[in-house]
């Protein structure tokens, strides 16, 4: 499956946020989006998911234009930056997402004691881990991850990266995070957002040329 986003024009109060975007993501690949604060990374993911309606956009899946919000197709899962799960017991949340709780505690065995706990009783990092895991593991064709590594301990980040590598076999994954070494390491394709436009990065040194990273960072 190939997802393409094209001709995006997004303005907030006469301020142009996005104006020249082309992005392609496909099954079997992780597509990374990099860019400085406020460049429109989150807006881009929200446009794909269907949370934001821009002035113009064209979303194509396997060359067919999609006119309805993508979330209505149930083929896309979106991890926003904010906590989005309601106050429910962990087991109940896993049931709603049709994700196996036992498989989760096999990987993250410290959560075994939390089976009947309400998600609000967990720490911010633990909640984030649950959210990332659910979004990655629930049934979908497209996964949109907005800063999945924030709040996570290094050991959890490594485990999530392993799950990402497994899940990409059947999903098109689009990911953005300020922890850019992880994005660079995991992504097959990288796009840089700058001045409202997307630029496909062919060589990592371009990240310095476009002043996303300081000189010498990629050497």
* Element at 49 (helix H, strand E): helix 41-49
Which two three-digit tokens encode residue 41?
Answer: 């990374």
- C-alpha distance across the termini of the chain, in Å: 35
Taking a C-beta distance cutoff of 8 angstroms, is the pair 47, 54 a contact?
yes
To another protein, the closest distance from the beta carbon of 71 in angstroms equals: 4
> Which bin fits 101, alpha (ψ -120 to 50), beta or left (φ > 0)?
alpha
Residue 82 as a binder of another protein (CB under 8 A): the answer is: yes
Taking a C-beta distance cutoff of 8 angstroms, is the pair 124, 151 a contact?
yes
Residue 72 as a binder of another protein (CB under 8 A): the answer is: yes
Binding mask 129-158 for another protein (x = CB under 8 A): ------x--x--------------------
| Cβ distance to another protein smaller for residue 39 or 70 | 70
Q: Which of 53, 91, 96, 185 binds another protein (CB under 8 A)?
A: 96
Judged by CB under 8 A, the stretch of 48-56, 105-113, 118-126, 192-200 that binds another protein is 48-56
Strands 189-194 and 30-35: parallel
Residue 91 as a binder of another protein (CB under 8 A): the answer is: no
Residue 104 as a binder of another protein (CB under 8 A): the answer is: no
Place of tokens 């059947």: 170
Q: Using only C-alpha atoms, what is the Rg of the chain?
A: 18
User: Whole-angstrom Cα distance, residue 186 to residue 180?
Assistant: 10
Residue 1 as a binder of another protein (CB under 8 A): the answer is: no
Q: Which of 22, 71, 101, 210 binds another protein (CB under 8 A)?
A: 71
For 97-163, give the DSSP string. Answer: TT--HHHHHHHSGGGGGGTTSBGGGS-HHHHHHHHHHHHHHSS-SEEEEESTTTT--HHHHHHHHHH
Judged by CB under 8 A, the stretch of 64-72, 122-130, 179-187, 210-218 that binds another protein is 64-72
Judged by CB under 8 A, the stretch of 83-91, 152-160, 161-169, 175-183 that binds another protein is 83-91
Q: Which of 1, 88, 197, 213 binds another protein (CB under 8 A)?
A: 88
Size of the site for another protein (CB under 8 A): 22
Q: Which of 86, 162, 188, 217 binds another protein (CB under 8 A)?
A: 86
Q: Which residues bind another protein (CB under 8 A)?
A: 49-51, 69, 71-74, 77-78, 80, 82, 84-86, 88, 95-98, 135, 138
């Amino acid at each position: 499956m190939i997802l393409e986003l094209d001709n995006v024009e997004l303005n907030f109060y006469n301020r142009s946020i996005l104006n020249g975007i082309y992005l392609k993501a496909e099954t079997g690949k992780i597509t990374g989006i990099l860019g400085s604060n406020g460049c429109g990374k989150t807006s881009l993911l929200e446009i794909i998911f269907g949370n934001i309606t821009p002035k113009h956009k064209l979303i194509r899946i396997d060359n067919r234009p999609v006119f309805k919000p993508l979330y209505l197709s149930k083929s896309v899962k979106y991890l926003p930056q904010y906590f989005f799960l309601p106050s429910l017991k962990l087991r109940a949340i896993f049931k709603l997402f049709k994700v196996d709780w036992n498989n989760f505690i096999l990987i993250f065995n410290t959560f075994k004691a939390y089976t009947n706990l309400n998600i609000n009783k967990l720490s911010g990092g633990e909640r984030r881990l649950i959210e990332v895991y659910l979004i990655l593991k629930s049934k979908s064709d497209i996964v949109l991850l907005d800063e999945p590594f924030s709040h996570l301990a290094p050991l959890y980040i490594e485990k999530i990266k392993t799950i990402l590598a497994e899940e990409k076999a059947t999903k098109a994954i689009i990911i953005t995070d300020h922890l850019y070494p992880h994005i660079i390491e995991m992504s097959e394709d990288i796009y840089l957002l700058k001045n409202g436009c997307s630029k496909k990065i062919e060589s990592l040194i371009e990240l310095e040329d476009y002043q996303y990273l300081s000189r010498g960072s990629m050497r």
